[in-house]
A and B are shown apart, each in its own frame.
Chain A
Amino acid sequence: MIDGFLALYIFMLAAFTGYEIISRVPVILHTPLMSGSNFVHGIVLVGAMVALGHAQTPLETAIGFLGVLLGAGNAAGGYVVTERMLEMFKSSKKAEGK
């Protein structure tokens, strides 16, 4: 069980981690990073799976199903779009090397 203060410590440390990761990022990477972090919060899928997995009533099941559907869309879509954005960095790097 994570109590209030333990959660507060986790929130604080995770927030500093996120802040530090972004703090010195070039402008060209703003959009890919937004897309990449959009993918990372697709972890909401895991929570939606737990919610659907413990649903009792038909209403809870319907809400849980919707949650899993949307969460999977967030994760899969976020991955594809980020990968396609970052592909452009590969080709430009090769061109520089030549």
Chain B
Amino acid sequence: MMMNWNRRQFIGALGTTSLIAGFPGLVLGAAKARVVIVGGGFGGAIAARYLKLHEPGIEVTLIERNKHYISCPFSNEVLSGERNIESLTFGYAAHAARGVNVVHDAVTAIDAAKKTVMTQGGKSFAYDYLVVSPGIDFDYGTIEGASPEMEKTMLHAWKAGEQTLQLKKQLEAMKNGGLVIITSPKRPYRCPPGPYERAAQMAAYFKHHKPKSKVLILDHGDTMPKQALFEESWKQLYPGMIEWVPGSSGGKILRVDQKKRSLVTDMGDQKADIINFIPPQRAAAIARMAGLTDQSGWCPIDPMTMESTLHKGIYVIGDAAVTNDIPKSAHAAASQAKVVVNAIVAVTNGKPVPKPQYTNACYTVVGPDYGFSIVGIFQPEGGKLVSVKGAGGLSPVGAPSYVRKAEAEYAYSWLKNITTEAFL
């Protein structure tokens, strides 16, 4: 396993523990290792939590711009009015209470050679291991006529927060019989089933308040995740209210006309009362600045350890990383965080690095008492992260109401437990 953990780094880590080598678990003032985490979303927050859980002797610094994190998972329910955004808002007090050095600052540079992170506030942090979990940025450059300015008129609401609330206001202000367009971008993007769940949650709101209204999904691709389950649920819950146009049938956005507020596809100009333009995506700016991205715009990693293949000693987890079959989800980021933590803790304590465990559980709630899920188990294979055959899979199509209700309830419990794991 040491081949994946470069020897210098391993010896370095041992060096810091040599004083206490005979007394595992005993901390004599000096930290066993210093870990800096950039980004306090699900990936970064859970990495911090598990480092302190499994090895309190490791010094952990979590650098996050914002004082609060708003969960993207279940933010579509803010649109239907099923929940408020406060129920998805979390702080970092629990991390501080557990001894994590929480720093609210923006990272401006990462010096991989000197193993130092610099912030806007003029601070620098030295590390033995760096975990980068920066999330996504929008990439407007790949569509003609698109630019960041359109965020104001064609909301994305793909980073939960102010945009989510604005989109909800637009839905509330729209007339009965209005049309909403949701664009589903080129893959990979954050939360693959998200656009389709969003369509359902919007339809849930319309059903009770503006039943003549419709949602049109213009899709870059020709398939959607959980497709049979979505199509079945739309038909059952929202007949005639949601239309999905695959890319090859004219769903692909060729051009954006911001002045006319229209999207140009093979079907011509598409206009609507509300356009929810979910832009194409790439790794967040700090990953690009630090040289952690390749030409794809995402961060290539060693699937055994999540270590960057471009900079040794830096581990990239969550949505920003190239993870092949693993979708960009909170649960996947959590499992990647644990892979990195378990490796760091093992090396720090001179134990063998465990086999990496990559899992994903992704729940969708399309309406009251109606949920379904997909499970993925992944393993490194031929330099990639590949779905394990014979494990994982989808909820059944045609399932009875007990199953849909139970899955909706488990979905909410998933949210409660993973947000507790990350932030509480």
Please say whether chains A and B are actual partners in one complex: no
A residues touching B (Cβ–Cβ < 8 Å)? none
B residues touching A (Cβ–Cβ < 8 Å)? none
